[in-house]
Amino acid sequence: MTSSFLILTRSGQKNINVEPGTSAYFVGANGGGKTRLAVRIEEQLGEKCHRISAHRALNLNPAVAKIGEDNALLGLRYGYTPKPLNSALPHLTLRLNNRWQQKAATNLLNDYDFLIQALFAEQSNTALGTHKNARAQNGIPAKQTKFEWLEEIWERLLPHRKLNISGDNITVKTTDSTSDYSAADMSDGERSVFYLIGQTLMAVQGSLLIFDEPELHIHRSIVAALWDELEAARPDCGMAIISHDLEFIASRKGQKFILRAYHPDTGWEIDDIPEDAGFSEEIATLILGSRKPILFVEGGNCSLDKAVFRACYPDWTVIPRGSCEEVLHAVVTMRANQMLTRVHCVGLIDADGYSEEEIQIFQAKGVEILPVSEIENLFLLPEVVEAIAKSEGYNQDDVRQKITQVHAELFSHAAESKNKDAVILRYCRRRIDRALKKIDLSNASDVNNLSRVYKEKTGSLDISTLARNADDAIQKAISEKNVAELLRWYDNKGILTLVAKVKGTTKDKFEQWVVRIMRSNTDLAVANAVKSKLPILQTR
């Protein structure tokens, strides 16, 4: 049966339907009202749902007293066993009083004992039925117990561990050992996996399972596999998963929503995650979840890149997008997409020897240009080298000497034919790649026409001229001792070694130091020197 519930928003009630065998995913930052939403869904669906709180105890006690299955399930679902004598209160009121202690959003859920009791009781009753059928020789096959089912799933997820479940105890053994240890001594992650599987298997037929932050204590490498198993195990149930883990939510299939904020009077600010926004689901999720403007940058998830951009643009959500073309595409797509227009965005790309005309075209589309060809080059600019030298305690004369030494070695490095030729070759390749990506052959009517159009489009690409222009620019910068101009063209990550010498360290350790000070703001002079060389971005 479909599970339906309403979410209060400023514009009215938003209806969510979760079909059996499907999941609805909600992602939001702290303060986004995730737990309040879980409570609200439980209040609406009542006995047709089962909520697992983010605040949950994971004390697994295999020696807990064994009780009857009906009472164990009462404890698991409502928090009491048996039902209080002469109580006229409905189960849902008793659940609020006992399971949640009148604090549905904040109470620590402590129902692991009830889960273990329910699993043992179900095992006992199922085994007894199997025994009776065997004695009666009626040909009815043995029924799998929930414990056996749990064991199969748990061992697929954790193949280096094996559960041993008897009639009254649970032990664990590693695959390379012959000795067991008590399930009470399992790690937090192992107990959490056990708990979530058990809760899923013991849920009422056709109910909605609500999981608040299910990824807690579980290694990221198995979270997705765990959820594949749980969804497959209960095709009769729907699931509502509420999390702050962007990567986990982006990896799943199903309805997805962003919880932007929660206001007690007006409800939630909630958005669907669009499937056709021109971004991967993870990027779309991150964009929609951001309360800051978006800065798309060239490059990947390098720690140095991220540390510099996030420190220098703290009021922006920084998203690496790979190449220059991908940054431009992201900015144009986001600005054109009506669902995303309330979030402002700009792009920031490497200098790469762009002409003034090209720079103006980029800026008109919302993309700014770095003053250097790659992020590492920022640390060789005179003002930044000066700040680094001063942070090392050098006096003014020594600071000037350090700057002169770094730049003398930079010009010498760039003047070497093999280094310069490699830079020019990379530049030409990028220009060719960029030109080829712009070629539109969609209107070619046949193969001959396609060949003609291709030749026309590529014929204007003069590689010799590209190489000569790059060579001339580099040679001119060297001859004029123009550090800033050289660093617009010269992309060679090895030159970071030159400034690392100012600190008397290696390139790798220098990068680690930069990441550390940029993240922690422990050397404001260096950070401010870097910031001063970057474009000023308008938030609107």
Residue range 440-495, pLDDT digits in tens: 777 778 898 888 888 887 777 788 998 999 999 999 999 999 999 999 999 998 99
Beta-strand (E) ranges in 225-324? Answer: 238-243, 255-263, 267-272, 294-297, 317-320
Measured distance CA(169)–CA(183) in Å, rounded: 9
Structure tokens at 134: 């065997």
Which residues, other chains included, contact 78 with Cβ-Cβ below 8 Å and sequence gap of 6+? 91, 94, 95, 98, 99
Distances (CA, A) of 445 to 440, 454, 458, 460: 13, 13, 18, 22
pLDDT of residue 425: 94
With a pLDDT cut of 70, the percent of the chain lying above it is 97
How much of the chain exceeds pLDDT 90, in percent? 61
23: phi then psi, degrees, rounded to nearest 5: -135, 150
3-state DSSP assignment of residue 27: strand
Longest alpha-carbon distance in the chain: 100
Which of 24, 146, 25 shows the shortest CA–CA distance to 76?
A: 146
Cis peptide before 214 (omega within 30 of 0): no
Residue 16 DSSP SS3:
strand
Average pLDDT, the chain: 90
Amino acid at 454: Y
**Whole-angstrom distance, CA of residue 31 vs CA of residue 43:** 20
157-180 tens-digit pLDDT: 999 999 999 999 999 998 888 889
Angle (CA) 300 305 311, round 5°: 135
Q: What's the average model confidence in pLDDT over 53-73?
A: 94
Task: Write out pLDDT tens, residues 247-299.
Answer: 888 888 889 998 988 999 999 999 888 776 677 777 877 777 777 889 999 88
CA distance 500 to 517: 15
Q: How many helices (H) and strands (E) does the chain have?
A: 21, 15
pLDDT digits (tens, 9 = 90+) for 123-143: 999 999 999 998 998 988 899
Q: Walk across the sheet containing 345-349 and list its strands.
A: 317-320, 294-297, 345-349, 367-369
Q: What is the C-alpha to C-alpha distance for residues 21 and 4, in angstroms, rounded to an integer?
A: 14
Write the DSSP symbol of residue 265. Answer: T
Cα 70 to chain centroid, rounded: 41
Distance CA 313, CA 531 (A): 8
Place of tokens 């799998």: 144
The answer to whether the beta carbons of residues 80 and 34 sit under 8 Å apart is no
* pLDDT surpasses 60 at 327: yes
3-class state of residue 317 by DSSP: strand
Q: Are 369 and 362 in contact (CB under 8 A)?
A: yes
Cα dist from 94 to 89, 111, 210, 280, whole Å: 7, 15, 19, 45
Give residue-wise pLDDT tens across range 17-54.
999 999 999 998 778 899 999 999 999 999 999 999 99
Phi and psi for 505 in degrees, rounded to 5? Answer: -135, 180
- pLDDT band at residue 71 under the 50/70/90 scheme: very high
Sheet holding 170-174, edge to edge: 161-165, 170-174, 181-182
* Identity of the residue numbered 133: N
Question: Closest by alpha carbon to 22, among 294, 317, 238, 257?
Answer: 238
508-521 burial by CB neighbour count: b if 16+ within 10 A, else e?
eebbebbbebbeee
pLDDT-based confidence at residue 338 (cuts at 50, 70, 90): low
Residue 74 falls in which region: left (phi positive, over 0), alpha (psi -120 to 50) or beta = alpha
Handedness of CA 71, 73, 78, 79 (dihedral sign): positive
- Report helix, strand or coil for 128: helix
Query: How far are the Cα atoms of 391, 491, 504, 507, 531 from residue 387, in angstroms, in the given order?
Result: 6, 22, 15, 18, 12
Question: CB-side exposure of 65: number of CA atoms within 13 Å?
Answer: 4
Q: What's the confidence (pLDDT) of residue 190?
A: 94
* CA 72 – CA 93 distance, rounded (Å): 18
pTM over 0.75: no
* CB contact set of 503 (below 8 Å; sequence gap of 6+): 388, 392, 510, 513
Of 399, 440, 423, the C-alpha closest to 475 is 423
